[in-house]
Amino acid sequence: MKITLKEKLMRMSEREKRENQIKLLSIAEKEEGSRFLDIGCGDGKFTLEFATKIGAKEVYGVDIYEPALEEAKNKGIIIEKSDVNEGIHFPSEFFDVILCNQVAEHLLNPDTLFKEIRRLLRKQGHAYISVPNLCALHNRLFVLLGWQPTVIAPSTKFVFGNPARGAESNMWGPYRHLTAFSPAAFKEMLEFYGLRVKKYYGNGFYPFSGKISGLFSKLLPSFSVFQIAVAIKNAFQDVI
């Protein structure tokens, strides 16, 4: 059976998402006995992978999708259903480490998310935040062709302006990307909301995979599929 271009792109996308998770695990620092929060935890599978890597003692997860939260709860994760656009219901300075992977782009109000991450982190606490890259090589090429970048969609039901993706959208409802971040905007926004960027990485490089993808994303992080910031709470900054 012949695989369509859309199917190939979807497979590449899923592969890159997993490789981005592997990259997050590779850069995660040990914080034995820490209290850890995963914002957008889903079913909790990767939450536990990350928690094990850092040596977390208490593992919490936030999501809006109830069936996934139930799966996370069954894995022993302390869950909280929250619409992150409106805030996260935990005390200030409650967590040592926060992970937020592929969440901000789905929000109407990522400003609240970044303010909440800073509020929830203890002093000198670490956040690992990853979002798609608006300036990735494939998005730049799509724009040159006059096509819609895949990182953000104008419709909740259909794909318009990108023939490579077909007509039906996989980004409707909670999966739709509502905001998009260039590397400059991503880093500047984190700093503005009191999250000092300690390290910045690009990850994934279409159409390559494995070591070749890793090499190009290291050399040209601003052209990578995903961007990752390791940020530390700036306890001395006043945040609007």
Domain at 5-233: CATH architecture: 3-Layer(aba) Sandwich (3.40)
In degrees rounded to 5, what are phi and psi of residue 160? -115, 140
Domain boundaries, the chain: 5-233
What pLDDT digit, counting tens, does each position of 63-85 carry? 999 999 999 999 999 999 999 99
Contacts of 120 (CB under 8 A, 6+ apart): 37, 88, 90, 92, 93, 94, 95, 98
Which tokens go with 23?
């990259």
Closest CA to 102 of 194, 19, 230, 226: 226
pLDDT digits (tens, 9 = 90+) for 185-197: 999 999 999 999 9
pLDDT digits (tens, 9 = 90+) for 227-239: 999 999 987 776 6
**131-187 residue pLDDT tens:** 999 999 999 999 999 999 988 888 777 778 888 765 555 544 446 788 999 999 999
